[in-house]
Amino acid sequence: MEYAKLNNGIEMPMAGFGVYQIPKEDCKQAVLDALEVGYRLIDTAQSYFNEKEVGYALAETKVPREEIFLTTKVWIDNYGQGITRQSILDSMRRLKVDYIDLVLLHQPFSDYYAAYHELEKLYKEGKIRAIGVSNFAPDRLADIAAFNSVVPQVNQVEVNPFNQQIKAQEYMLKEEIQMEAWAPFGEGRNDIFNNETLTSIGKKYGKSAAQVILRWLLQRDIISLAKSTKKVRMEENFSIFDFELSDQDMKEIQKIDQESSLFFDHQAPETVEMFVKFIEERRK
């Protein structure tokens, strides 16, 4: 395993396992399998509704707690003075832990300033080892970094070969904010696993397109989150430390960048409207 050193000195695994959209009935075993494969970064969120199942796995695994880097994310409906703090304490109870390694604000909407202040307080109390945000574009990330006492350690954003976030990463590197990639495989969109560039590069190393993508992120110093409920697939996704892409490979992958999201634009008004609906649905 390789590690990134965050701006507060904490080390974070470069390859992580995410549990987004993993059903509750499969989540515990998936996390146990991921830990057995070698993953030490586990990523969940309040809005995934499976923190409790992740907690069951953490309580059962033989991997020591201090070796596991645990991340959760605060949902928009839990933004606000006092509310955010209680939601994180509730997450800790569901996860069966007395500290969380990283807590992120899940979306750049609503009262995220008040929510971030609550993260800062818990960080200074030692209940959270690192704090950050998710889906924050460079302008909002710059705002949070400039006007708060703790610069975010991490910004988790969509990064994949079709949305490479090169300019966004330039700002994060400047401010020493670690970029982390969700949806590195674009959830299979654009037929990504059969992309000619990725598969041809993979053939040179005896690797799949998925492994090429994760290795590409690793060489860009971007933490990746891969997801699967199949242990054999987890093993494949974790097997990215035994080869290295050439400079030419990296240039070829850069050519397929479309510089736009495969999902939605967080800076578009209609996206805000979409998340308002998400909030209403989750309240039910």
Cite the active site residues: 48
Cα 170 vs. chain centroid, distance in angstroms?
Answer: 18
**CA-CA distance, 221 to 14, in Å (whole number)?**
8
Q: Say if residue 225 is exposed, middle or buried (CB neighbours under 10 Å; 0-12, 13-18, 19+).
A: buried
Residue 12: what are its φ and ψ, rounded to 5°? -125, 130
**CA-CA distance, 160 to 197, in Å (whole number)?**
14
Q: Say if residue 186 is exposed, middle or buried (CB neighbours under 10 Å; 0-12, 13-18, 19+).
A: buried
**CA-CA distance, 135 to 108, in Å (whole number)?**
6
Write b or e for each residue in 3-29: b if 16 or more Cβ atoms lie within 10 A of its Cβ, otherwise e: ebebbeebebbbbbbbbbebeeeebbb
Identity of the residue numbered 103? V
Any residues with CB less than 8 A from the CB of 246 and at least 6 apart, and which? none
Identity of the residue numbered 81? Q
Residues in the chain, how many? 284
Alpha helices in 20-82 (DSSP H): 24-37, 51-60
**Residue 74 falls in which region: left (phi positive, over 0), alpha (psi -120 to 50) or beta:** beta
